Amino acid sequence: MRLYVITGDRGDELETARIVEAALDGGATIIQLRKKSMPMVEQYPLATALRTLTLAHEALLIINDHADLAIAADADGVHLGQDDLPPDAVRALPGFEGRLIGRSTHSLGQAQLAMNEGADYIAVGPVYPTPTKEGRAAVGTALVSRVAGIVDRPFVAVGGIDHDNAAAVVEAGAHAIAVVRAVYDAVDPAEAARRLHELIVTRLEVARR
């Protein structure tokens, strides 16, 4: 996990696939399909199109919230919020075997619980204020550092992260960052993804020295 790109709500199947392909060309290693207002009947063909693209780029495809769609599209996993089913219930679903479960967390306690519940990776945030999580208070880089100190599996920092503040997030302990607007809404998604991926890798190399 390095650059985790989440789809924005705007755009039909063709536009979303175009943006995702550009993000993959730029270095995105995980794509999450998140379309809160798109009907499921439209999300299924989009998910299958993204599955083809991610396989071609050796990247992972994660479906937000909907384990049934993840199974139907043969995605690599599902990402669950705090109000979704617990990880063990999702893992027991027929056809879910071998897939990943991610869990959104907003506090140290939630991060610890997600690990105890068996999530394969956790997301920590929102690090900074973001319109994609209206009403959710930003947790800041301090929580990223605290989670980095206890986590025993991959985690990704998410929320309001862009090229201007991503370095601070990596320096706080995140080895991966998730973005929506910084890539999905960029004029040049491929270039935006390339710059972010390069920043993450460079900062991690500096931290190892």
Residue from 34, 35, 51, 195 carrying the catalytic annotation? 34
CA–CA dist 139, 189 (Å, integer): 27
Q: Which residue matches tokens 């550009």? A: 22
Residue from 51, 103, 104, 203 carrying the catalytic annotation? 104
Question: Is there a catalytic annotation at residue 36?
Answer: no
Q: Which residue, among 196, 190, 150, has the nearest Cα to 173 in the 3D structure? A: 150
SS3 content of the chain, % helix, strand, coil (to 5): 45, 15, 40
Question: Is there a catalytic annotation at residue 37?
Answer: no
Task: List phi, psi (to 5°) of 203.
Answer: -65, -35
CA–CA dist 65, 183 (Å, integer): 21
Question: Is there a catalytic annotation at residue 133?
Answer: yes
Q: Angle at Cα 29 formed by Cα 34 and Cα 143, nearest 5°? A: 70
Find how far residue 181's CA is from the centre of its chain.
Answer: 12
Residue from 2, 133, 146, 181 carrying the catalytic annotation? 133
| Residues forming the active site | 34, 104, 133
